[in-house]
Structure 1
Amino acid sequence: MRHSSDAASRSGRGLDGVNFFVAAVQTGFGSFVTVYLVKNQWPPEAIGFALTIATTSTLVSQIPAGAALDSTRDKRWPVMLGIVGVGLAALLLCVTAARPAVYLALAMQGLASSLIGPGIAAISLALVGQAGMSERVGRNARFASIGNGLAAAAMGVAGSSLPVLTVFLISATLAIPALLSLSLISGDYQRPTDAPGEAETRISWEGAKSVFLNKQLSIFAACVLLFFAASAAMGPGLAGQVTRHWPDYATLIVAAIILVPQVIVAAISPWIGRRAETSGRRPLMLVGWALIPLQGLVYAMLLPSPLAWVFGSLLNAFSGAIFGVMMTVVAADLTRKTGGFNLTLGALGVAVAVGASLSTFFTGVSATAIGVRGAAIGLALVGMCGLMLLWSAMPETRPAQAKLPTPDNTPTGR
């Protein structure tokens, strides 16, 4: 028993490290890629196309990756493969800014990411079980936010005093401690699933069919798609504006844009996980979705003022923290006893990728055609559509709590 407890504790710490370092590795992509491409004289439509390649590669690989994870007993191997893939993509960006190489690197990063996120979620579920999932996801988000924030600060300082490609060298280097942390997770981390309502860890045909015919999942996937269609382009778009208006300080400002929200996410994510168990998922989701159209309006009214990124970053922090916990928790709610947890995360990942692809592509086109303010208003309208769909169609998914014995319902033993 002592050995089992020590292994579980070591696995938990290893999972904390994986979340921390994987988030740090991934920090080099996204907004820093936009800064890198702008400084290499890429036009807005080309940058939008490059970012769309990353999300499209994630799109086509999400469901196959989820199904493969559900069919794999040891989830550590797919996560390891994903970390190696992201590290190699970062190294490729260090070498050249030529379009074919950048497109290949972003495609590799998208494909690898489709293994990492669901794999971490699956390991988390195996470690703590269904009852502890909300709090564990909140803890995952806390360590990921700390890793993201500290890496953003380091990359911002490095990018302001050294060539921007230094950012990607840091990303590639951080893949090494991510792999070392993964090795701390014990090979027998699987938690027994003998408790009532626990999810199975291997998928069956019936389980897969129940996932794709689940009406609640379809509604939630549509809400997720609209969430990212409205929000995905806001960060890179803001980074592009910052680079054009303050080129000498672009990496530092982008680092601050990333760092400030991560501090907030790290602080509140565990609370969100606990609150989801006591108050339910729906109230928190409504708050998170409502912040997206407000963020778009802030950018439309305040850009290019620095106040835009101050208020926009704060709104992004709260909405991102809520979404980061809720997507995994709702997926676990909808897949109890089906073995389709990772397949469901893959389906939701498709919704994320489709929404993000549409967001970056059409925002790049609309910003060129009608200006940044018009594009921001369009994103706000899309966000409002997502909020209305969530409010009108998405029910509460928290499982009913077991009723505790009382003097009136305690069994008499007769």
Structure 2
Amino acid sequence: MSLRSLQALCLVNFFMADVRDGLGPFLGIFMTEHHWKPESIGWVMTSAGVASLLVTLPAGMAADAVRNKRLMLSTGTLTVILATIMLWYFPGPTVTVVSQVMTGMAAAFIAPLMTAMTLGLTGPEKFGYQTGRNEAFNHAGNMTAAAVAGASVWYWGTGAVFVLMTVMALLATTCVMGIRECDINNRLARGLKADAGNAALPRLSVLLREPALLIGGVTVLLFHLGNAALMPMLSVRVAASPEAWINPGVFAAATVIISQAVMIFAALYAARRAQSTGYLSLITAALCILPVRAAVASFGDGIAFMPAIQILDGMAAGLLGVAVPGFVVRVLDGKGHTNAGQSFILLMQGAGAALSPAMMGTLISHFSFSAAFAVMGAIAVLALIIWLVGQHLTLLKAATSRPQLGGDL
């Protein structure tokens, strides 16, 4: 491992934080300022998720197959810059949808490429530890960007967020070039042993024969269906409320800062615990948190409940950010399909995240915010049940009984 390349990788994660997730809650605020209704906002957010879904599996297979991962990653960040500029200058319906589609497609490539570069630099033994560091830097970047965005929105309005995202994307691209291509072992990056023979190109059939991967995929789909739109719609509720005493942009920034600060510690904790307790227990703990968060959002309709909601979000997301990629690496170790497997999980995750805003916007328009949050909580409970039942299935036990790299799966 090259210390210089690992340090550059951490910086990439720091600056990529504000790029990979798009405008986040600020998108809803920006569209509300342009007189969009919650249902329409939800469907626009969904368009980005649908676009991401269409290229998710090809993106993971490309991450396994391509050798110049830095170039592909830089192309993704530059695409986000172009989409951001388009949305700011032309916020009409057509350009808004196109810009979100571009952002969603770029994000589909960014995630597996980051995983592949990490695995190629560290190998499977150190992957969990480095993923924890990556996530900590990513959350620190999100927190820093949110603090800067909040102050900027206070003084200059929502448009400052667009400038910030552009700058972060440019800095991320610069740091990508700081990772030396020769330090990335392309065989390890796709989950092959260093001394293994040549592997075929990634195939979907290999993934579908892994029951642990399939159960994990259904679980994360339901998790993100119940979680993805919760915070953006909380921001919309503040922005749409005539009695709101806080600037919606400042509120959105505060929510991001709280959750990201908690995620830093949760990610570092998960990285330490993964080798001793395994990834399964960390995923279970994260799944237990989401129903509680949805219940607080449903029954606590005041801004005062926001810190508790975001602390819970930070705990769940911080654990999953480390545990899920590590889980996939263990399940597909030696098969040469690691990043295709990561993209399969991202596909399922993205399906839930893409449907979540549209479903939640529709529920809010026809019922209420509290009712929508209650439905999110029910979906989260279903995800936990499926995960717990799945762990006791014979096929899943067989998948987890293969030799480990340390700790449980």
TM-score (norm 1): 0.90
Task: Give the whole-Å Cα distance in 2 for the aligned partners of 1:402 and 1:144.
Answer: 26
- Give the equivalent residue in structure 1 for 2:115: 121
Q: Distance in 1 between the 2:405 and 2:78 partners?
A: 43
Determine helix, strand or coil for the equivalent of 1:140.
Answer: helix
- Structure 1: distance between partners of 2:401 and 2:137: 25
Point out the more displaced range, 205-214 or 16-25: 205-214
Q: What is the CA distance between 1:30 and its match in structure 2?
A: 1.6
Contact 1:73 1:202 in 2 (8 A): no
CA contact (8 A) 2:226 2:356 kept: yes
From 220, 223, 227, give the equivalent of 1:224: 220
Larger radius of gyration: 1
In structure 2, give the amino acid aligned to 1:242: V
Alpha-carbon distance in structure 1 between the residues aligned to 2:141 and 2:192: 33
1:329 aligns with 2:323: no
Name the aligned partner's letter for residue 233 of structure 1: A
Is the 2:147–2:254 Cα contact (8 Å) retained in structure 1? yes
Sort the Cα spacing of 1:203 and 1:47 in 2 relative to 1 into closer, same or farther, 3 A: farther
Distance in structure 2 (CA, Å) of the matches to 1:402 and 1:52 = 38
Partner of 2:381: 384
On the 8 A contact 2:20/2:110 being kept in 1, the answer is no
Counterparts of 2:297 and 2:144, CA distance in 1: 25
Q: Secondary structure of the residue that 2:23 maps to in structure 1?
A: coil
Q: Give the Cα–Cα distance (whole angstroms) in 1 for the partners of residues 348 and 110 of structure 2.
A: 17
Alignment correspondent of 2:93: 99
The aligned residue for residue 306 of structure 2 is: 309
Alignment of 1:30 with 2:24, yes or no, is yes
Question: 4+ residue stretches of structure 1 with deviation over 6 A?
Answer: 199-202
Preserved contact between residue 208 and residue 340 of structure 1 (Cα < 8 Å)? no
Matched, 1:184 2:178: yes
Alignment of 1:34-73 (within 5 A): 34-73=28-67
Correspondence for 1:409: none
Matches of 1:201 and 1:79, distance apart in 2: 27
Secondary structure at 1:338 match in 2: coil
* 1:11-410 to 2 correspondences below 5 Å: 11-26=5-20, 29-191=23-185, 198=193, 204=200, 208-245=204-241, 246=244, 249-303=247-301, 305-394=302-391, 395=396, 397=400, 400-401=403-404
Most deviating of 377-386 and 367-376: 367-376
SS of equivalent to 2:183: coil
Q: Deviations over 1:374-407 (max 9, x none)?
A: 111100000000000111103574964579xxxx
Query: Structure 1 unaligned runs (5+)?
Result: 404-414
Could you list the per-position Cα deviations for residues 359-378 of structure 1 after superposition, in whole angstroms to 9, with x for gaps in the alignment?
11111111111111111110
Shift of 1:214: 1.2
Residue 214 and residue 167 in structure 1: after superposition, are their counterparts in 2 closer, same or farther (change >3 A)?
Answer: same
Report what 1:412 is aligned to: none
Specify the code of the residue in structure 2 equivalent to 1:306.
I
Question: 1:29 and 1:111 mapped to 2: Cα distance?
Answer: 15
Q: CA deviation at 1:163?
A: 2.7
C-alpha displacement of 1:209: 2.8
**Letter matched to residue 235 of structure 1:** M
* Cα distance change, pair 392–202 in 1 and its aligned pair in 2 (3 A): farther
Query: Taking structure 1 as reference, are residues 398 and 122 closer, same or farther at Cα in structure 2, changes over 3 Å only?
Result: farther
**Which shows bigger deviation, 87-96 or 105-114?**
87-96
- Note the C-alpha offset of 1:205: 5.0
Deviation of the 1:267 alpha carbon: 2.2
Deviation string for 1:140-176 (max 9, x for gaps)? 0000000000001111111122131220121012211
Separation of aligned partners in 2, 1:28 and 1:359: 16
* Per-residue Cα deviation, 1:105-131 (whole angstroms, up to 9, x for no partner): 111110000111110100000000000
Seen in structure 2, the aligned counterparts of structure 1 residues 201 and 258 have a Cα distance that, compared at 3 Å, is: farther
Cα offsets for 1:160-203 (capped at 9, x unmatched):
22131220121012211111100110111124869x98487985
Q: How much does 1:207 deviate? A: 5.9
| Structure 2 residue ranges without an equivalent (≥5) | none
Give the total of aligned pairs: 395
Query: CA, structure 1 residues 225+118, in 2 after alignment: closer, same or farther (shift >3 Å)?
Result: same
8 Å contact from structure 1 (residues 24, 147) kept in 2: yes
Letter paired with 1:230: G
- Identical columns (%): 24
CA-atom RMSD in angstroms:
2.2
Give distance in 2, aligned partners of 1:25 and 1:110: 11
Q: Answer yes or no: is the 8 Å Cα contact 1:70–1:202 preserved in 2.
A: no
The worse-fitting range, judged by mean Cα deviation, of 315-324 and 166-175 is: 166-175
Residue identity matched to 1:294? V
What is residue 408 of structure 1 aligned with on the other side? none
Query: Displacement, 1:248?
Result: 5.4
For residues 402 and 86 of structure 1, what CA distance do their matches in structure 2 show? Answer: 37
Per mean C-alpha deviation after superposition, the further-off stretch among 125-134 and 16-25 is 16-25
Distance 1:202 1:42, change over 3 A: farther
Query: Is the partner of 2:247 in helix, strand or coil?
Result: helix
Q: What is the distance in 2 between the residues matched to 1:88 and 1:203?
A: 36
